[in-house]
A and B are shown apart, each in its own frame.
Chain A
Amino acid sequence: MDNLAVTQEVKPPNTKKGPVKWLIDNLFNTWYNTILTCFALVFLFFVFKGVFTWVFTQANWRVIPANIQILMTGPYPIEQIWQVWIVLCTLSVLLGLSAGIWHGLVFKLSIAIASIGLIFLLIPLEIVNFIASIGPTFLFTPLELINKKIETEPGTLELNLNFISLIFFKRRWLLGCLVLLVVTFFLGRDKHVLKRWVIGGWFLSFPWTMIMLHGFGENPVSTTDWGGLLLTLILATVGIVACFPLGVLLALGRRSQLPAIKWVSTTYIETIRGVPLITILFMGSLILPIFMPGDFQLDKVIRAMIGLTLFSAAYMAENVRGGLQAVPQGQVEAAQAVGLTYPKTMLFIVLPQALRSVIPAIVGQFIALFKDTSLVSIVGLLDLFGIARSILGNPKWQGNFVEIYLFVAAIYFVFCYAMSYFSQEIEADLGVGKY
Chain B
Amino acid sequence: MQQDSTKIPFWRDIRFLKVFFQILFVIGIILLAGILYSNMINGLSRQGIKLDWTFLNSEAGFGISEGINYDPSDSYLKAFWVGVVNTIKVSIAGICCGTIIGFFFGIARLSSNWLIQKIAAVYVECFRNIPLLLQIFFWAALIRSLPKIENSIVISDNIVFNVQGIFFPSFAPGPGFTTWLWYLLGGVILAIIVVLGFAVFRHFGGDHELQQTDRPPFTSNIIFAAKWAAAPTFIIVAIAGWFLTSEPTFAVTRPVLQRFGYVGGMNLSPEFTSVLIGLSVYTSAFIAEVVRSGIQAVVKGQREAARAVGLKESQVLSLVVIPQAIPIIVPPLTSQFLNLIKNSSLSVAIGYPELFQVGETIINQTGQTIPIFGMIMMSYLIMSLTTSAFMNWYNRRITRYGLSR
What is the interface of chain A, defined by CB distance below 8 A to chain B? 26-27, 29-30, 33, 36-37, 40-41, 43-44, 257-261, 264, 271, 274-279, 282-283, 286-287, 289-294, 367, 371-372, 374-375, 377-378, 385, 388-389, 392, 401-402, 405, 408-409, 412-413, 416-417, 420
Contact = CB atoms under 8 A, between A and B. Distances in A.
B392 to A, nearest CB: 15
B141 A276 contact: no
B22 A389 contact: no
B133 A36 contact: no
Nearest to A29: B112
A413 B43 CA distance: 42
Nearest to B343: A276
B134 interface: yes
Contacts of B380: 274-276, 279
B292 to A, nearest CB: 15
Contact of B125 (A274, A282, A389, A417): A417
A205 to B, nearest CB: 26
A-B complex: 10 closest residue pairs judged by Cβ atoms: A290-B43, A26-B114, A416-B129, A276-B342, A260-B22, A276-B345, A374-B131, A371-B131, A401-B141, A274-B381
Given A259-B22, A413-B129, A291 B36 contact: yes
B113 A36 contact: yes
Contacts of A392: 141
B137 interface: yes
Nearest to A367: B129
Given A374-B134, A385-B133, A405-B141, A36 B116 contact: yes
Contacts of A293: 39, 42
B380 to A, nearest CB: 5
B370 interface: yes
Given A278-B356, A374-B133, A27 B346 contact: no
B133 A377 contact: yes
Contacts of B138: 401-402, 405, 409
B266 interface: no
A278 B346 contact: yes
Contacts of A264: 25, 29
B398 interface: no
A264 B22 CA distance: 11
B75 interface: no
B107 to A, nearest CB: 12
A49 B83 CA distance: 42
Given A261-B25, A274-B342, 15 more contacts: A36-B116, A40-B116, A44-B119, A274-B384, A275-B342, A276-B346, A279-B377, A287-B369, A289-B43, A293-B39, A378-B346, A412-B131, A412-B134, A413-B129, A417-B129
Interface in B325-352: 342-343, 345-346, 348-349
B297 interface: no
A260 B18 CA distance: 10
Contacts of B31: none
15 contacts: A29-B112, A37-B115, A40-B115, A260-B25, A274-B342, A274-B377, A279-B345, A279-B356, A291-B40, A377-B133, A378-B346, A385-B133, A392-B141, A409-B134, A416-B130
Contacts of B68: none
Interface centre among A29, A37, A276, A408 (most CB of B within 10 A): A276
Nearest to B347: A278
B112 A33 contact: yes
Nearest to A23: B114
A136 to B, nearest CB: 19
Contacts of A287: 369-370, 373
A278 B348 contact: yes
B376 interface: yes
A417 B124 CA distance: 11
Nearest to B41: A290
B29 A258 contact: no
Contacts of B26: 260
Interface in B135-188: 137-138, 141, 145
A286 B369 contact: yes
B132 interface: yes
B373 A405 contact: no
A261 B342 CA distance: 27
Interface string B41-57: 01110010000000000
